[in-house]
Structure 1
Amino acid sequence: MIVTQSTEQQGDWVSRFADEVIAEAERRAPGKTIVCASGLSPSGPIHLGNLREVMTPHLVADEIRRRGYDCVHVLSWDDFDRYRKVPVGAGVDDLGWEEHIGKPLTSVPAPPGSAYASWAEHFKQPMIEAMARLGIEVHAISQTEKYTAGAYREQVLLAMRERAKIDEVLGRYRTKVAAAETEDADEAAAAEGSGAADEDDGGSAAGYFPYKPYCANCDKDLTTVTAYDDETTALSYTCTACGHTETVLLSEHTRGKLVWKVDWPMRWAYEGVVFEPSGVDHSSPGSSFVVGGQIVREVFDAEPPIGPMYAFVGIAGMAKMSSSKGGVPTASDALEIMEPPLLRWLYARRRPNQSFKVAFDAEIQRMYDEWDALSRRVADGSVNAADGFAYQRATETVSAGKLPLTPHPLPYRTLASIVDITAGNEVQTYRILSDLDPADPLASLDEARPRLDCAERWILTQVPAEQRTQVRAEPDAELLSTLDDHRRESLRMLAEGLDDHWSLEGLTSLVYGVPKRQLGLPLDVKPTPELKVAQREFFALLYHLIVGRDTGPRLPTLLLAVGADRIRTLLGQ
């Protein structure tokens, strides 16, 4: 059954793109499978900026399938690209991996200790596993397998026959490229991912040749084509790395590939791609997507895909992402500290041309608060249409169905505070979580998972050891001996009220209520400047007596975690 877009969906960017893609596909080839595409280069860690390259067409393809159309999401692994540079933090610093520069990524050894046979497979696998957890279904294509099997032979021969036309198209843009690259070099570096946007375009002193062979002797692409015969397909080349020279028949040769600005449009035509987004490195004047649009029409007799330029994805507290600079968080890293639906939501709720940040610092707690608030609005029917569609796209797909969610989703900041205080002790963690809400207790810790595990990994991997909570082993006798009667009274009032207020809500009322009672104010009074000062002073005193510093986890959570008896001891009561 074909489902049309509703009026409510008109404010949803995914639905709007699905409309455009369906209309374009029906114009080009009515009734055929609609092809959406992505491309990733496993040249290093595949970071969260690269994930947008995959998530954008995934969401659009999923909406197209939801409407009853046959749609495939092709993911092209650009693993036949050259190894361009040794990325920082890949585990091969000072190990001589520079000697492999120029080889196909599938011919470069994996970092020491890897379970995989090649550099490409080593960096592909974490992304493959992350996509499975995120419910992203793709038809994966290895460019190494395609080229070495001769799948593109006719397209390669066509490109070589039409090399003068390709050179003429490229010539229209060459003067624009340098200016475009210098205008936003940082953004281009940040958007590294699919293909090799900075490769040469095939020009040489001997003429223009869009095919680059890998040397039969050293397996590097530091080769120069010196002659080509269209009739016999005899191609001669010289390797500048090792000096090897050779003549091969291109009609039989499979150890080489088209240069990037020809390779990409060739694949658009070969796969029949209708929709593919592109990063900023491919979308400026004279860059791959723009030039490819001309080449695919004039050489391969096909049309370029439609699709948006996607904007930068940052990390809260980090500089722009670049695979070559090391230390860039990947989708696997993000899934260590957040549930898959939340990560999907971050991409689904923003239009592709809107930049956003993924929080690895304390902002993750606010991000989860937003997600939980959205979940409550969805549950009670008060959510607006656009937010509702973003939530739906985050939590389910046509192929995978509903993605796993935490059955009893307690606030992330609360879970983080508790595992921080208990250092992951499951008995203590369960005791505290059971006391959070006596009206709706946990039956087991499994009901709080996977969110509980995500919060624990966030504390262990993202919070420096010196910032973690250490509860005092003994009372601070020196501080207690200096307290005046007013502050002693506040501690007594708190200690006496613990048993009657032993829940997260009750302790919240208690710690905020003690200063109100001391000022002779009703418990429901609105905060005044005087009250705020009194509360801050009281809270600081409690933190000093319990954890030995001015601040810490939210006091109600801290009190629950430490336990009533120990709290009384530390307060000198």
Structure 2
Amino acid sequence: MTGTILAEAARASKAWPFEEARKLLKRYPDGRKPDGSPVLFETGYGPSGLPHIGTFQEVLRTTLVRRAFEALIGARPEDGRTRLVAFSDDMDGLRKVPDNVPRRDLLAGHLGQPLTRVPDPFAAGHASFAHHNNAMLRAFLDRFGFDYEFVSATERYTSGAFDAALRQVLRCNQAILDIMLPTLRDERKRTYAAVLPISPTSGRVLQVPVEVVDAEAGLIRFTDEDGTLVEQSILGGRAKLQWKVDWAMRWYALGVDYEMYGKDLTDSGVQSGRIVEVLGGRKPEGLIYELFLDAKGEKISKSKGNGLSIEEWLTYGSEESLGYYIFPNPRSAKQLHPGVIPRAVDDYWQARALLAEQPLDKQLGNPVWHLARANGGFDGAEAPGAGDRLPVSFALLLNLAGVLGAAATREQMWSYLARYVPGARPDQHPELTRMVDHALAYNRDFVAPGLHRRAPQGAEVAALRALDALLARVDPDIAAEELQTQIYEIGKQPEYGFASLRDWFRVLYETLLGSEQGPRMGSFIVLYGIANTRRLLAEALKSA
């Protein structure tokens, strides 16, 4: 497929990454900056804690927009028309000691110091707490194959790379204060300054009033913690900027064209956008995304621990399923808890199977197209894995694991799968092997502990006996779809009193599988085996 054909289709697509990318096309109609430099995308990270699922979603979504923009302008990733910077704000002062780190007393003695000067509590051989967390961030992003450039605030400040921008901040100091002071409480106004000097005695990042002495020389005057009046340069890493000023300065210094951020930073985005214009720059394009919620619909908080970590998701589902779950409308809040994983896994595979059958305009709305392009760089002719199908669904595997119990093993699961998928072996089906392992883990941790098969009641008993009689007489090699049709017929019989087939299948799920929802029963019975299913029926009827 030529880049022109893809670009034409992309310009008409309503998928959100293309809608975002078109903002950049309005900014640069030729698909290039006036000076010919790459269009710059940025994501930000605060290394006061370990990278988490929020970090993943921001880098993923930004990458999706980046690749969508390349499609719009007919470029390939290797053309170098775009860049993605993962910026670490590691000059920030340590505000509090995190709850989830060892040797917390070690960190307590370094409150207020830049994170790159705080010792590493993990004793992992890193130069500082920030260096440790930055290493974790890079390993985290590399794990998912993201194409990015890591940039450290400390390196930029101390090397002098930000010096020109810092001088510009001092030149515009009063204009910046005019923007910021009206947004602050009276008490905060008294100590607010655009520049945060680093104390020459304690090494802490100070929140103190600052007087600009000489903007061109980078000189300021402030009162140190011990009461000493200090005149000091802000260049070369001897100061950093307040958060909103720092964000604007970064946009100005790096020439950032696109950055998205969470709803909780809406006000910061407005003020930083005004400040970057004062500096002589331009606010990046971007979107404001909604935050994740827990199972109760409450905002996820690291201190509460009510979220879901990357490691937890990848224990029970694939990386692709996580990307698929995150993909839809970023402006809509999403609940993030273990209960959403099984559906996300199956939805991903359904979309992946559908991709090869879709015309290009529909492919561009399929999340799998975007996820495959995110880091693989395929040209849009056919996404890697397009048309792939798994012989069983994740829901079906979960139900199989459920009836086998908490101690179910991979070997047991494959013994059933080999009957359902002739000749199937783990080494021949790596994707299915991963899914089996995820299903076993999910069953062990979430299904088996609360599994309860209720006893059938009233006419339900007769309906289950009818199903048992059906299984006693069918051909052992009956196809799953044919068996499903005959199970339908039982549920339609008026003597059993089911208002709908949904009610009939709910009875099967609750009495045989211990779940309110379940798979297509024809497929489950063929996978689990007719004799085994009749034993489940016998147990259910015995409990009536």
Match for residue 152 of structure 2?
Answer: 142
Q: Offset of 1:489 from its aligned partner?
A: 5.3
Would you say the 8 A contact 2:43–2:87 is kept in 1? yes
Q: Offset of 1:142 from its aligned partner?
A: 0.8
The one-letter code sitting in structure 1 at the alignment partner of 2:349 is: D
Asked if residue 48 in structure 1 is aligned to residue 30 in structure 2, the reply is: no
Identical aligned residues as a percent? 22
Q: Offset of 1:131 from its aligned partner?
A: 2.9
Note closer, same or farther for the CA distance 1:553–1:235 as it changes in structure 2 (3 Å cut).
same
Match for residue 318 of structure 2?
Answer: 339
Asked if residue 376 in structure 1 is aligned to residue 353 in structure 2, the reply is: yes
Whole-Å separation in 2 of the counterparts to 1:375 and 1:309: 28
Match for residue 412 of structure 1?
Answer: 394
Whole-Å separation in 2 of the counterparts to 1:262 and 1:498: 74
Asked if residue 160 in structure 1 is aligned to residue 205 in structure 2, the reply is: no
Asked if residue 427 in structure 1 is aligned to residue 383 in structure 2, the reply is: no
Q: Aligned to 1:343, what secondary structure does the other structure show?
A: helix
Q: Offset of 1:160 from its aligned partner?
A: 2.3
Aligned-residue RMSD, C-alpha:
4.4
Q: Offset of 1:39 from its aligned partner?
A: 1.1
Q: Aligned to 1:326, what secondary structure does the other structure show?
A: coil
Asked if residue 529 in structure 1 is aligned to residue 529 in structure 2, the reply is: no
Q: Offset of 1:141 from its aligned partner?
A: 0.3
Match for residue 68 of structure 2?
Answer: 63
Deviations for 1:2-58, whole angstroms, at most 9, x for unmatched residues?
747325642233223323313423585153211111211122244434444323321
Match for residue 500 of structure 1?
Answer: 476
Q: Aligned to 1:302, what secondary structure does the other structure show?
A: coil
Judge which range, 411-420 or 257-266, deviates more.
411-420
Would you say the 8 A contact 1:46–1:127 is kept in 2? yes
Match for residue 262 of structure 1?
Answer: 245
Match for residue 38 of structure 1?
Answer: 43
Q: Aligned to 1:380, what secondary structure does the other structure show?
A: coil
Note closer, same or farther for the CA distance 1:73–1:506 as it changes in structure 2 (3 Å cut).
same
Deviations for 1:344-374, whole angstroms, at most 9, x for unmatched residues?
3334432x4x214255333333333433332
With structure 1 as the length reference, what TM-score do the two structures score?
Answer: 0.74
Judge which range, 70-79 or 557-566, deviates more.
557-566
Asked if residue 295 in structure 1 is aligned to residue 275 in structure 2, the reply is: yes
Would you say the 8 A contact 1:102–1:220 is kept in 2? yes
Match for residue 185 of structure 1?
Answer: none
Deviations for 1:475-519, whole angstroms, at most 9, x for unmatched residues?
xxxx99xx9996895475266247715775566456656667896
The one-letter code sitting in structure 1 at the alignment partner of 2:355 is: V
Note closer, same or farther for the CA distance 1:432–1:155 as it changes in structure 2 (3 Å cut).
same
Would you say the 8 A contact 2:62–2:260 is kept in 1? yes
Whole-Å separation in 2 of the counterparts to 1:333 and 1:570: 32
Whole-Å separation in 2 of the counterparts to 1:54 and 1:532: 41
Whole-Å separation in 1 of the counterparts to 2:386 and 2:194: 49
Whole-Å separation in 2 of the counterparts to 1:484 and 1:159: 76
Note closer, same or farther for the CA distance 1:432–1:380 as it changes in structure 2 (3 Å cut).
same
Note closer, same or farther for the CA distance 1:538–1:413 as it changes in structure 2 (3 Å cut).
closer
Would you say the 8 A contact 1:217–1:244 is kept in 2? no
Would you say the 8 A contact 1:87–1:325 is kept in 2? no
Aligned residues: 518
Asked if residue 21 in structure 1 is aligned to residue 24 in structure 2, the reply is: yes
Would you say the 8 A contact 1:8–1:385 is kept in 2? no
Note closer, same or farther for the CA distance 1:559–1:98 as it changes in structure 2 (3 Å cut).
farther
Note closer, same or farther for the CA distance 1:34–1:178 as it changes in structure 2 (3 Å cut).
same
The one-letter code sitting in structure 2 at the alignment partner of 1:78 is: D
Q: Aligned to 2:96, what secondary structure does the other structure show?
A: coil
Judge which range, 146-155 or 219-228, deviates more.
219-228
Whole-Å separation in 2 of the counterparts to 1:533 and 1:37: 51
Note closer, same or farther for the CA distance 1:148–1:532 as it changes in structure 2 (3 Å cut).
closer
Q: Aligned to 2:90, what secondary structure does the other structure show?
A: coil
Asked if residue 210 in structure 1 is aligned to residue 190 in structure 2, the reply is: no
Match for residue 362 of structure 1?
Answer: 339
Asked if residue 281 in structure 1 is aligned to residue 251 in structure 2, the reply is: no
Mapping of 1:465-484 within 5 angstroms?
466-468=449-451
Gaps of 5+ in 2: 540-544
Higher normalized contact order (CA 8 Å, seq sep 6+, divided by chain length): 1
Q: Offset of 1:120 from its aligned partner?
A: 2.9
Q: Offset of 1:82 from its aligned partner?
A: 1.9
Would you say the 8 A contact 1:212–1:257 is kept in 2? yes
Would you say the 8 A contact 2:21–2:65 is kept in 1? yes
Deviations for 1:434-471, whole angstroms, at most 9, x for unmatched residues?
2335598977452514333333343345x16522589x
Note closer, same or farther for the CA distance 1:226–1:416 as it changes in structure 2 (3 Å cut).
same
Judge which range, 493-502 or 363-372, deviates more.
493-502
The one-letter code sitting in structure 1 at the alignment partner of 2:499 is: P
Judge which range, 74-83 or 420-429, deviates more.
420-429
Match of 1:247 among 230, 234, 238: 230
Deviations for 1:86-128, whole angstroms, at most 9, x for unmatched residues?
444x245975744443222233344547675543344444543
Match of 2:434 among 440, 445, 450: 450
Whole-Å separation in 2 of the counterparts to 1:360 and 1:107: 36
Would you say the 8 A contact 2:17–2:65 is kept in 1? yes
Would you say the 8 A contact 2:172–2:278 is kept in 1? no
Match for residue 197 of structure 1?
Answer: none
Asked if residue 107 in structure 1 is aligned to residue 90 in structure 2, the reply is: no
Q: Offset of 1:76 from its aligned partner?
A: 0.9
Would you say the 8 A contact 1:408–1:447 is kept in 2? no
Note closer, same or farther for the CA distance 1:135–1:62 as it changes in structure 2 (3 Å cut).
farther
Note closer, same or farther for the CA distance 1:228–1:338 as it changes in structure 2 (3 Å cut).
same
The one-letter code sitting in structure 1 at the alignment partner of 2:65 is: V
Judge which range, 119-128 or 303-312, deviates more.
119-128
Would you say the 8 A contact 1:236–1:246 is kept in 2? yes
Q: Offset of 1:313 from its aligned partner?
A: 3.1
Q: Offset of 1:430 from its aligned partner?
A: 0.8
Q: Offset of 1:428 from its aligned partner?
A: 0.9
Judge which range, 48-57 or 255-264, deviates more.
48-57
Would you say the 8 A contact 2:313–2:341 is kept in 1? no
Match for residue 96 of structure 2?
Answer: 85
Note closer, same or farther for the CA distance 1:453–1:112 as it changes in structure 2 (3 Å cut).
same
Q: Offset of 1:246 from its aligned partner?
A: 6.9
Whole-Å separation in 1 of the counterparts to 2:10 and 2:377: 24
Whole-Å separation in 1 of the counterparts to 2:9 and 2:103: 55
Gaps of 5+ in 1: 180-199, 471-478, 521-526
Q: Offset of 1:165 from its aligned partner?
A: 2.7
Whole-Å separation in 2 of the counterparts to 1:55 and 1:98: 34
Deviations for 1:410-442, whole angstroms, at most 9, x for unmatched residues?
311122233444445122111112233559897
